[in-house]
Structure 1
């Protein structure tokens, strides 16, 4: 192995390097919004697939991706043993393979299937190409997310690397919709007809360049003899053993009361957002009868989510997560009601009204996406007093796994609902009452899901004050303090957060000691 290769050569970590690392999230943020907000519209309004089949394409592919994500992390962990892993980096090798595959499959997705195979092969073609694209995206993002740990052990420098992600991701979201809105607004008939293909070409170029910059300007921890010895000393698990261990660890997280509530809030709110993104183009084009570029013009106002994120960062400190959840979810519910009123009151020339509603929605959405992942760092501390373990990675994996799975089901279910309601793709006129039913689903489905998240958020007690009490108790116990000396206030807070009697917490052995004993 050549330790002098650029992939093993550390460099100064500064803001420029942080931006270079974060550029991959231009694709990360953009891709997630293409999945939830563009692909369903493309497959139904442009390709002409019926909504159930269009929903099945994203649903099936994302389930495959969720399973793939479960095992791919351990594949990259052990790839240092191979010649390719030693030469090109156990993380960077897969990023490069994923980048090449993504460039081909993502671009191919926007090429009409009929121009390659003729009519009758649309479903199989788009399912295959989209599934491959999801797997290539995972092949890029999973190793990429480990790079801050590979590049430095310094907390501040890791923060520099990760800090730019949020804003770059939001920029990716806005660019995706802005590009499509511009292309569908061009006067040329050919440009409108091929808007998705041209957008796909531009997105591919943008994402590939961004990912390649991240690929070349990051590095991995050199595979020194000491580091290889450290890696080799870790437990050897087959893929089957790894899956069983992982599923067991996943299940154990649900013993944590704060996490159960946190995950419920996260899943229901994000699934409500998915329903909105999936059905908005159908609502605007079919129900309101507006031009095909209007949904993308409205979605480009996602840039206001960046502004609300900055506000949320301040409010998180001064008011806590429950306030942010209420602010976000009530804003989204009011926006969805307003969308429905625009349709049922037959508002004429509603674009200005829709812009105002959308800005309210996008600002609320920005807070919705900001809050759970800013609450998350405190969740493993609740587990720590329960198990004396450090399982932040496991908790993050559970959130990601369920997010991918429910995101897939949301789009699939939306497609099935549209078909059951009588919606016919590319019909000049829908049957009587169909647009009313579609508008109701567009309005009510997100409201129900967001309302569930709102109600659960009112019972969520983890905030700065309760976390300080929890952390103080952990520090006292780690210093050798006696559990019998805990104050009644501390006991009450800890029991509320964990969902377990205080006496059952802080076991005599650490999590690692129990694991060693278990594996003997």
Structure 2
């Protein structure tokens, strides 16, 4: 987190606590309150599962090349150098996200990683001829999907605090960014630990003196992690992505409604379709939102309920 983000987060915390420094309890309460927003919950499901899968892959891929395929680490280095595709992929993804919904782009990216997972399993189990061609194709699919994965969450994220503002009437973008970074750090550490435990369970032999012969159980576990383990996490990410409804169209409706309310518009004047779209993004019943009832001259006090 940058100093500017930390300062903004501190200012938001002071505002939440009427100018008083927040306690640990209030900080945790604020953190968990972000998950009341449906779009953010879904976004974090996508983010956590997909990043978890990529850490599993990066932790074990060299082992896959050396022990499952019997190749040298230089082969792994060559394949990972294909990350050069990140430059055109990022540019194309930036253009695509203006043409199609984030949900469609998420599914496209994660599907490409799934194709690579099938490729890793096929190469390890079948040992086809022209193995380097298969590995290169698989890595290109993986890298393209990976850089869509890297690009999209942080480019979608700036719109999410506005969804929260509709519910709370507050700008809590710093808090949301802090939670997202925190979850990312947890997923990275947890994925490395899980990969380590799975390898230990399969009796993987660590050696400081170079590669050693591994038992079949360890080799099978390595193949499973880079194909099945990563694949399962990508399928989970696709599941969340299919329930991610933030798009240019829906965000336009919500932004228009938020602007109307901020300019003194009455909640009672909202049309049914606008209410439905807002509820789809927030996960909160529109009529239960407290903050904007002042525009209708109604007393505050209604509880926020989730769909």
Structure with more contact order per residue of length (Cα contacts < 8 Å, sep ≥ 6): 2
Q: Which aligned pairs between 1:238-317 and structure 2 lie closer than 5 A?
A: 241-317=22-98
- For normalisation by structure 1, the TM-score amounts to 0.52
Among 162, 174, 190, the residue aligned to 1:381: 162
Instruction: Check the 8 A contact 1:250/1:398 in 2, yes or no.
Output: yes
How many aligned residue pairs are there? 283
Q: Which aligned pairs between 1:493-508 and structure 2 lie closer than 5 A?
A: 493-505=277-289, 507-508=291-292
Find the counterpart in structure 2 of residue 454 from structure 1: 238
Gaps of 5+ in 1: 1-140, 150-233, 515-520
Among 225, 250, 274, the residue aligned to 1:466: 250
Q: Provide the C-alpha distance between the structure 2 equivalents of 1:292 and 1:308, rounded to a whole number of angstroms.
A: 26
- For normalisation by structure 2, the TM-score amounts to 0.87
Q: Provide the C-alpha distance between the structure 1 equivalents of 2:183 and 2:24, rounded to a whole number of angstroms.
A: 16
Aligned CA distance change for structure 1 residues 473 and 272 (closer, same or farther; 3 Å)? same
Q: Deviations over 1:247-297 (max 9, x none)?
A: 111011011011100110111011111111111011011111111222222
Instruction: Check the 8 A contact 2:6/2:174 in 1, yes or no.
Output: no
Among 329, 340, 345, the residue aligned to 2:121: 340
Aligned CA distance change for structure 1 residues 264 and 432 (closer, same or farther; 3 Å)? closer
Instruction: Check the 8 A contact 2:46/2:240 in 1, yes or no.
Output: yes
Q: What's the offset of the Cα at 1:408?
A: 0.1
Q: Provide the C-alpha distance between the structure 2 equivalents of 1:348 and 1:419, rounded to a whole number of angstroms.
A: 32
Among 143, 146, 169, the residue aligned to 2:3: 143
Q: Provide the C-alpha distance between the structure 2 equivalents of 1:377 and 1:339, rounded to a whole number of angstroms.
A: 35
Find the counterpart in structure 1 of residue 222 from structure 2: 438
Q: Provide the C-alpha distance between the structure 1 equivalents of 2:221 and 2:142, rounded to a whole number of angstroms.
A: 22
Q: What's the offset of the Cα at 1:356?
A: 1.7
Q: Which aligned pairs between 1:7-86 and structure 2 lie closer than 5 A?
A: none
Instruction: Check the 8 A contact 2:47/2:153 in 1, yes or no.
Output: yes
Aligned CA distance change for structure 1 residues 432 and 453 (closer, same or farther; 3 Å)? closer
Q: What's the offset of the Cα at 1:246?
A: 2.1
Find the counterpart in structure 2 of residue 5 from structure 1: none
Q: Deviations over 1:62-110 (max 9, x none)?
A: xxxxxxxxxxxxxxxxxxxxxxxxxxxxxxxxxxxxxxxxxxxxxxxxx
Q: Provide the C-alpha distance between the structure 2 equivalents of 1:293 and 1:458, rounded to a whole number of angstroms.
A: 38
Gaps of 5+ in 2: 9-17, 295-299, 301-307
Find the counterpart in structure 2 of residue 98 from structure 1: none
Aligned CA distance change for structure 1 residues 310 and 349 (closer, same or farther; 3 Å)? same
Q: Deviations over 1:144-174 (max 9, x none)?
A: 8679x9xxxxxxxxxxxxxxxxxxxxxxxxx
Q: What's the offset of the Cα at 1:424?
A: 1.1
Q: Provide the C-alpha distance between the structure 2 equivalents of 1:356 and 1:506, rounded to a whole number of angstroms.
A: 54
Q: What's the offset of the Cα at 1:446?
A: 0.7
Find the counterpart in structure 1 of residue 205 from structure 2: 424
Find the counterpart in structure 1 of residue 270 from structure 2: 486
